[in-house]
Amino acid sequence: MIKFFRKIRQELLNEGKTSKYLKYAVGEIILVVIGILIALQINNWNENRKSRQLELLNIEQLILDIQEDSIDIQNKINRLPKHLNSYTIIENMNKDSTYKKIFNKNLEFIERPFLQMNVKSNAVENISQIINGLTNNTMKRKLRNYAQFYERLESQTKYVNEVIVEFGSPLLIKYPNISVSRNKIVKIANLFELSNDEAALGTIKLIKDHHANTLYMMKDFLEQNKELLDYLRKSILNNTN
């Protein structure tokens, strides 16, 4: 193609058609510039397409990670009420005749008290790495809010664990029968002495209140988790249709 244009220019010069030569040269320059612009546009389009594909892959991975969060938190939500019930039983087992009847007839084991929990999210760890590559500002805001909420929940569980270690662990030493558990449950008969210890009951109430707050936070978090999953799934559908 270059030889072809060069031949035309040479013929115009040989024929003395300078004005035509200049017009042709200008036209050739314009064609070259247009070609360069088209090439740049195609390159930009390819780069944008690659970036968008990477963004979609990151969102799909986030969806998987956030689903894991929902499973983990739901499991803890399912378990916490059993422990709250254990605390209530310990608080009332020597005070309420109705409770005593239940203990004697129907309830041999309860969940062992002083549950420690840990939460860990791959989604939150990945959000900080992925978020700068996203183009959707609404999505960025939702992901930041999600990560911040999870970090508050993580701080809450760590704090409760610290309370249990400081105040609950001494009770496990003082009343070793509590620690003799089968599948993380404990015999009711092993708790009567504990239930007569006023100082221990104060610790039970303290930990119970903290676990109740944790359960409340987890339920709120699960709602936000569901909303974010729905949003991300719709985003994937909108960008693949």
| 90-109 tens-digit pLDDT | 888 777 665 555 555 445 55
Tell me the domain boundaries of the chain.
Answer: 2-240
DSSP conformation class of 175: S
Instruction: Pick the closest to residue 81 from 38, 115, 44 (CA basis).
Output: 115
142 burial via Cβ count (<10 Å: 0-12, 13-18, 19+) = middle
* Residue 111: its H or E element: strand 109-111
pLDDT digits (tens, 9 = 90+) for 137-148: 898 999 999 999
- Please state which of the ranges 19-33, 95-109, 112-126, 174-188 shows the lowest mean pLDDT: 95-109
CA distance 131 to 149: 16
Output Rg (C-alpha) for the chain, integer angstroms.
Answer: 34
Which residues are CB-neighbours of 217 under 8 A, at least 6 positions away?
152, 153, 156
- pLDDT of the residue at 214: 93
Give the number of C-alpha atoms closer than 13 A to the C-alpha of residue 110, restricted to the C-beta side: 25
CA distance 185 to 238: 48
Backbone angles phi, psi at 125, to 5 degrees: -65, -35
pLDDT digits (tens, 9 = 90+) for 151-194: 999 999 999 989 988 888 888 888 877 765 555 666 666 677 78
Average pLDDT, the chain: 78
CA dihedral 208, 210, 213, 214 (to 10 degrees): -100
CA distance 27 to 24: 5
Find out whether 133 and 58 touch, Cβ atoms under 8 Å: yes
